[in-house]
Amino acid sequence: MASSGPARPFVSLRRATPLAGLALLLAVPPFAHAIGDAYLVNILTRGVILALAAVSLDLILGYGGLVSFGHAAFVGAGAYTVGILAFHARAGSTVFDGLHGTQAALAAWPAAIVVAALLALVIGALSLRTRGLYFIMITLAFGQMVYFLFTSLERYGGDDGLILWQRSAWPLGDPADGTQFYYVCVALLLVFVVFLRRTVDARFGRVLRGAAENERRMRALGFPVYRYRLAAFVIAGAGAGLAGALLANQDTFVSPELLGWRQSGELMVMVILGGVGTLYGPVLGALGLVLLEEVLSGWTQHWMIILGPVLIVVVLFARRGLAGWLLPGSGRGDD
Amino acid sequence: MLLFLEQILNGLQFGVMLFLLAAGLTLVFGIMGLINLAHGSLYMIGAFVCASILSLTGSFALGVLGGLAGAALVGLAIEGTILRRLYARGHLDQVLATFGLILFFNEAVRIGWGPRPLFIDVPAALTGTVELVPGAPYPVYRLAIIAAGLAVAAFLWWLVQRTRLGMLIRAGAADREMLAALGVDSRRLYAGVFALGALLAGLAGALAGPLLAVQVGMGENILILTFVVIVIGGIGSIRGAVAGALLVGLVDTLGRAYLPTVLRLVADPATADGVGRALASMLIYLLMAAVLVWRPTGLFPAHGQ
């Protein structure tokens, strides 16, 4: 929880650091252009999209105290929604009677958000009946269930996945242009982070945090804790669905790997690397992890043998994550 | 009917493998409060060490012993250096650190043994089939696995219910702090319990060698099934692990064998096969969801949870 002592000398810093981060993100394409490295924009687009997914996970994990190990399912559901709609638009067929495919971003992306949110509603409604370790495992199991569902959809490529032949079309500009797509992703991330910031600072977020600290107390105060948690779970699922829609566009490819438990694990890694319950932290964590993977895989194909111990060291010794260093006063102050 | 018997035995054999993994995982959680994702890595290490010793010495028995020892030693090493520090931490930290361990071990094994899967032959003494009932031959090796699993279950029952160590284990599962306050050396107890769990995981890995390809990542798929087992059975309960493992083994095996056929009664063959396969691979997760909705702490909740 954010410490709220009488004097908060770092308030200005806490505001300034995210703004500086945003400025840095906006400056990436001109910089990449200047040094002639277009690939950098590609990597960071991926980082920004995964940041969106990680931030959405932070709402339930950091503020709700609910360790969800199946978040990739919602990313995958969003990605497959875009993929399947594009598949039918190309084939000129219908998903089912009356529902035609589409390539339009303004139709497909909201559809991805809605599908992921509905999936989160179902999974959350069942999972939130359990606590602690049971919750971790049931979300993991639901994630695997959705994974196996998509591997068995032969029509949409099964194990091999589904190729999107082009990015979703939006009204202004050229979707094939990597720089434009990057700015769209950054804008969506910004909107989502600001939305979540307001959500967690509002009464909703306080109830959520209160329930994470002491569920019985919040119940005694008369709050329907289950419903608050379910609402948070659905919001998080919707955010992950949007991230999935963007990821499908970035890769122009969707496959069941997007939904695997390893992907869910990586999202959790991003949140904890950046700092749990900070919202800005997971953005740093996602960008950091994507860049770290890029650098390490440049050194050796066995880069995971380095990443694994790095994770362990971070968990054991740097518990407040990157945000703990860059944003003093944020994160899990109770550690 | 004979085919059905065979599928039942296959389900039992699969359930026994799951039990060997679930027993360690559920004990470690019940007593130390640790969720160990790297349990599947110990299974993988057991399989790889067994395969290597087998190819060096030609003896499957030595291979199994080596697999047991290898998994137990690696288990002791990670318990003493890393996992011990996580007992008092939250689940999130435990998940993350042991996720890091999985990445490390997968890559270490890939460096040590290469990326290609290894294949082990069924040991000569256990090849061939035996007719349990006339006209239904069944592989001896699979029967041996079922027997080994039942023996381990009986041993664990004896250990937990009838020995002093078992008394400490039960006491630890009920109330860790009280146990430590009474002067029990919890460090040694925890290390011992963890090594026992690692040993069983190694045994499962070594025994699985002749049935499956020995390859990197083999631990993770079965680990998730093991989680399903202990959640269905009730975390921390050996009895629950037995029940959950057999239930999951049977439901998964029978579902894969018969769901498409059953669906053919109500749908055309192509649809039935497609939907049946999809449903069969999701069946145990549906089972788990149903159990948790009905009983949110599993079928046999351990005391003190």
Confirm if B225 and B18 have CB atoms less than 8 A apart.
yes
Closest chain A residue to B227, measured at CA: A137
User: Which two three-digit tokens encode residue B51?
Assistant: 């395969």
Confirm if A265 and A307 have CB atoms less than 8 A apart.
no
Which residues of B fall below an 8 Å CB-CB distance to A?
Answer: 29, 35, 82, 85-86, 89, 91-93, 95-97, 99-108, 110-111, 220, 224, 227-228, 230-231, 235, 274, 277-278, 281-282, 285-286, 288-289, 292-293, 296-298
Taking the C-alpha atoms of residue B127 and residue B130, their distance in angstroms, rounded to an integer, is 10
Nearest CB among A69, A142, A305 relative to B285 is that of A142
C-alpha dihedral, B189 to B192 to B193 to B195, nearest 10°:
160
**Complex-level ipTM beyond the 0.90 threshold:** no
What pLDDT score was predicted for residue B124? 81
> How close A303 gets to chain B, by Cα (Å)?
8
What pLDDT score was predicted for residue A7? 52
What pLDDT score was predicted for residue B88? 85
Confirm if B76 and B202 have CB atoms less than 8 A apart.
no
Cβ contact, residue pair A137, B297, below 8 Å: no
Cβ contact, residue pair A138, B289, below 8 Å: yes
What pLDDT score was predicted for residue B304? 44
| B105 contacts on A by Cβ (under 8 Å) | 308
What pLDDT score was predicted for residue A331? 45
High-pLDDT (> 90) share of chain B, %: 41
Per DSSP, the three-state class of A236 is helix
**Domain B11-121+138-294 in CATH 1.10.3470:** yes
Q: Which helix (H) or strand (E) holds A2?
A: none
Closest chain B residue to A303, measured at CA: B107
| B274 contacts on A by Cβ (under 8 Å) | 152, 154
| A285 contacts on B by Cβ (under 8 Å) | none
Q: What are phi and psi of B105, to 5 degrees?
A: -65, -40
Q: What are phi and psi of A172, to 5 degrees?
A: -110, 140
Closest chain B residue to A132, measured at CA: B91
What pLDDT score was predicted for residue B105? 94
User: Quick check: B71 pLDDT over 90?
Assistant: yes
Taking the C-alpha atoms of residue B174 and residue B182, their distance in angstroms, rounded to an integer, is 14
Domain boundary assignment for chain B:
11-121+138-294
pLDDT, one tens digit per residue, over B84-128 is 999 888 888 898 899 999 999 999 999 999 888 888 888 888 888
- pLDDT one digit per residue (tens) for chain A, 335 residues: 444 445 555 455 667 777 888 888 888 888 888 887 778 888 999 999 999 999 999 999 989 989 999 999 999 999 999 999 888 888 777 777 777 778 888 888 999 999 999 999 999 998 898 888 888 888 988 898 899 888 888 788 888 888 887 788 777 777 778 888 899 999 999 999 999 999 999 999 999 998 988 888 988 898 899 999 999 999 999 999 999 999 999 888 888 888 888 899 999 989 988 888 888 889 999 999 999 888 888 888 888 888 889 889 888 887 677 777 666 555 443 33
Hey, which residues does A162 pair with through a beta bridge?
A: A254
> How close A173 gets to chain B, by Cα (Å)?
41
pLDDT, one tens digit per residue, over B11-40 is 999 999 999 999 989 888 888 888 899 999
Size of interface A-B (CB pairs under 8 A): 127
Which residues of A fall below an 8 Å CB-CB distance to B?
Answer: 61, 67, 69, 126, 129-134, 136-138, 140-142, 144-145, 148-149, 151-154, 261-262, 265, 268-269, 272, 276, 302, 304-305, 307-312, 314-316, 319
Taking the C-alpha atoms of residue A12 and residue A126, their distance in angstroms, rounded to an integer, is 42
Q: How far is CA B8 from CA A101, A279, B1, B143, in A?
A: 45, 50, 11, 12
Nearest CB among B82, B97, B228 relative to A141 is that of B228
Q: What is the mean pLDDT of residues B218-229?
A: 89
- For helices A38-58 and A261-274, the axis angle rounded to 10 degrees is 90
Of A299, A269, A262, A265, residue with least CA distance to A284? A269
What pLDDT score was predicted for residue B237? 82
Q: Report pTM.
A: 0.87
What pLDDT score was predicted for residue A112? 93
The owner of tokens 């460090």 is B187
pLDDT, one tens digit per residue, over B249-279 is 999 999 988 888 888 888 788 777 778 888 8
Q: Which helix (H) or strand (E) holds B130?
A: strand B129-131
Cβ contact, residue pair A305, B235, below 8 Å: no
Residues 6+ apart with CB under 8 A from B35: A133, A136, B29, B91, B94, B95, B98
pLDDT, one tens digit per residue, over B137-183 is 888 899 999 999 999 999 988 998 889 888 888 888 777 788 888 88
Rounded to 5°, angle at Cα A235 from A232 and A236 = 85
Closest chain A residue to B294, measured at CA: A129
Question: Residue length, chain A?
Answer: 335
Q: Which of B32, B93, B285, B299 to mutate to test the interface with A (most CBs of A within 10 A)?
A: B285
